[in-house]
Structure 1
Amino acid sequence: MPTSKFFQLFLILLFSALTFLSYQNEKRNLDTKNASLLKQYAEIINKENQWQGSGESLYQQLQPAVGFQFFQYIDSNDSGNNFTRGTLQTNNTSPLSQLFITDLADTRSLLAGRLQVKLSNKSALSQTITRFEYHLMIIWSSFLLISFIYFLFTARQKSSIKYIANKIEDLGNLSFDAIEHSKIKREYNVVIQSLENSQQTLKAKLNELQAVNEQLTKTAFQDPITGFGTRARFTEKLEQICRPQHKEVGVLFIIKATELGAINQMVGREGGDDYLARIANEIRAAFKSKPQTLCFRISTADFAIVLPDANLKQGVAIASVLSTTFSEYQQQVGTASIAHIGLVPYLQDSDPVSLMTLADTAVSIAQTLGPNSYHLQEELTGDELFGESRWKVAITELLRRRSIKFYVQAIRPCRNDVESYKELLTRFYNSEGKVFPTTTVIAMAERHGMSGEIDKLVILNAIRLLIESPKITGLIGINISAASASNRTFVSWMKNILQQQRHIAARLIFEVNESGMQTNLSATYHFINELHSVGSRVSIERFGHGFTSFKFFKEVRPDFIKLDHSYTQGISTDPQNRFFVKMIIDIARKLGIRVIATGVEKQEDKIIMEQLLIDGLQGYYIAKPTPLIQGEKSEAMA
């Protein structure tokens, strides 16, 4: 039962008890007066016990001393003396008189007759009822007053409780308005203090969760390296600008960071991240005057820029600025290029697939135009693979003209008994003498089934150069594709060429990517045996991506393995990495295989690798790529 109802019930019981006690007291007083009246009557009538005569005379004689409500005298001998006055039925106007009903009747025999009376206590009864009514008024007025005061008190309490309850509900709705203390009774100060503390704690927790959520959202939809939107954001924007009801027009840029793979290999992932961040900063600077521009990183090395409410002339002007800044950056870092730019217009109700195909075509063509070039593609020519087809033409022309140059990067041996070599790095040029992005050339050659022709060009030119340049001494490493190394026809061609130049073949070390060679162990084993038969050696590069690597180099027995640069970077802070590298070195030494660390860019990494007894070191900290033919301008490596 609620406290308020319990208290009301208690009040009713209490004041009902007071009423009953008052009634009992008045009833007792009235009974005392009635008894006294009967006693007084008895004393008087006892004196008249020998009465004989008229009943009326007897009535007149007793009336002054005792009041009668009813008087009846019945004479035993003479009916003429009979006398009756009043009624037995009490006539009271007050309803409370029923609570004080008393029997003041008396019947007795006299000498000559019988007397029956009922005494009248009207005065005493009236006084008793008056006092009892007064007491009732006092008692129940007090009850009403207390009830009213309690009602006001509980009403105020309910108001405070309702206000507190609303504040608690506000917490559920994450509303933290200040608490109005004027609406709260003092006895709830402890609750209010607790509520305010809860508000502050919950608000702090909410702010913390919002910060975490913002960070998660930033992670999910904002690229951490560049600060640009992610591919998911770009997809949303692409769908938006291609909707039929969307009336926006503008220019879409696709910027391909073509040197990311090479930079990652040369200076590690940190250097690659710096490279991407620098490109992002250059993009921001170029589009600074267009605050409505939206920038996205849509893949590892690709950026998409949406420039709304702009025409192609404005887009070309910005692309030209970007091309210039990229060229300046290229001079600072010494790479073959920085990035290539494709730009296309977009209109209302564009098709997303067609728009992206057009943009990919534009950037593919830009790559064939030289370092940091841009290309505007206004519409498709009917051949969606125009960009790739252009690459096929470009590679065919490159093969025809033999437009390649060689750079070398030295590998430093860590001990006197270790024979090391220089890695030959190939650069490709277009008909205008501008450098192609090497990674793109190789990728496009593989896509069009022309990687074997590229590898033949590299091998023949390298052999010719070594024959014609006797000043170039020592071992030379040549990169060839895994597809060529796995092709028996190509391997037979290599063997025939090398047999004709065994003195040159003995100086050549052919480098092949591990991931490509693991797919066909039989072909790999054949490739290595054939090269060993003519005196050449084999190096497996980017080694250690999988645990199958141990089984791989144990079975095929290459002459060198070049650890993937990810093992070098951070080795000073990663004990597990050091343990894994040490294990590779120990196993390789037992098998007579030399281990070379790549991507060495810091002194601490060099020192640790030397402590692990690595056989050789390669990286920008050791030596940068330089032209193979002295006197040629050193542009960079790809």
Structure 2
Amino acid sequence: MTLFRQIYSLLFSLFLLVVASLGYVQFTETQSFLTKQMESDLNNASTSLGLMLTPALQAGDTAAAETLVNVIFEGGYYQNVKLTWMVDGKQQEWNNPLRIEDVPQWFINLNLFKTIKKQSTITSGWLQLAQLEITAHPGFGYHELWRIMSNTIIAFSLLFLVAIFTARIGLTWILKPLHTLSEHAKSIAARQFGPGMALPKTTELKDLVTAFNSMSAQLKQVFHSLDEEVGALRKKNLVDPASGLPNRQYLVSRLNGWLSEPSSGALFLAKLDWLEEVHSKYGYQVRDETIRILAEKFQLQLNEITPSVIGRIAAYEFAFLVTDVEHDQISKYLQTLIRTINQEMSKAGCKPNEDFAIGIAERIGQMNVSDILAQADNALQKALQENKTFHWFETTEQQLFTREQWRDNLSHAISNKKFKFRWQPIQFCDGDGIAQRELYCQLELGDQLAHAGQFMPYIELLSLGALLDKCLIETVYEQKLLERSYEPLAINLTHQSINDPQFHEWLNHFLRNATFIERICFEIPEAGVYSDLKSCQHLCNIIRDNGAKFGIDHFGRQFGSMSYLQELRPSYVKLDQSFAYYDETHHNSELCRALINVAKGLDIQVIVTGIQEKAQLERFNELRTDAYQGFIAPPVSLD
């Protein structure tokens, strides 16, 4: 029971006790008063009637005596009058039946008034004339007692209602600081550190509110400290100080993650020897400033073509990783890169198209980091030898379809739900079962299956992401996949779905009418969170309000604050695959630990991804991760 109800019940009981006590006192006093009044009236009536009957009794006039008694009997509340003549013993008796109006019978049956009788002897001098006995009628007492108690009950009832209503309002106002304190405590328990509470006027609560505000501020500072620690470790281990771009270590880890997933794209290696000329002419400070400006231009202009990872891997070498793109986009990216370099060379007083070279290697089939780095480096060396601005080792693989053919095939597949599924178990680190299963889809094209790495670039390019997600969610329910496993099923959402209000409305309507909501998880890429946090908040609120769960995929990949975790409050995060490939000698366990501590500090489950062997898993055990995912437990086809 809540404190409000306890206090309210106590006041209710005390007031009821007071009202009952007052009612009892009023009842007994009124009953006593009416009894005494009836006794006094009976005494007066007996005396008056004796005096009136004396002449008639002396004369022996029976008729006159009867007339006098009738006058008194009919005018008062008397139940019985008995007159006994002393001369001959003759008796005359008058009776009034017990009829009481406007009083319920059950009240009369309580017998609240005892029988009151008055006997007297009528004399004349020393001569006794008659014996008179009068019995009072209780009707007057019952009538008055019922009237007084009815009015009292009505008055007490109105007073009771007013008092209880006033007490409720008063308690609500008095206990409002406690309610605010309770909500604040719930927010702190949910790791939501909002502004401090205003101090209440109640003296006893001021210290408590002050303590809570202090605790909330300290916890908030702890979280910010962890967030700052993550930023500092990233800057120390993964960022090139001169350019502000990711360094070689970060790029290699991203390459590992990219190559371990089905995807497409290319790696660019650019050697800018003209920066050495800037160094020799103007010194290292101008060179470093030129590198910083060049990095800003790369990020500004190249990311307009397609999102990419840009890193500085040596003094005058830069790398550009472009993922999930088709061939035409790679060509456009290359043209923009060359144009950006030439513009900055002109500003620095160097001749365009000289003293720099670019090598491009497209991803072909199954490759590892060494393969694609070697291929890109060979392309770069060939461009340098032939004195060309770039050399491109293009893939000899024939593309399955042209862009328009992809549009037709994907639209047809989405409309007719031509997708097949696999799922991969995500296991608890303590070995106690499966935490969830992540769903992967393949596209059925004639006699062959296209994996996500082949068709997802065109899904994004052709803006079919929201339609694909709707199709997959509906297919999951139609094929009853949620009923095939008690573990939650994770479905990845595309960037378009995150930013599409119409998809939000559709998902809200769908989840309201769906079953097994608690078994479905939606995964949002961290890049989508940074690109449009407001849309992510709206989508996450829809998912949470309908009873489903959501998580953040590729957690820790982006360079930015982790404060979004407080606003979104995901059920879990999946540590980016790149962390699975960090070497202990590079001290990146500190960064992993800091990222995990940020999530664990907000009571968010942490899943490490990209685990290929037990040796990798053992490195994460001491970091208190909750579950792991990778080809140590490969995906399984669903028939």
Sort the TM-score into its range (normalised by shorter chain). Answer: 0.3 to 0.5
TM-score by length of 2: 0.41
* Greater Rg by CA: 1
TM-score by length of 1: 0.41
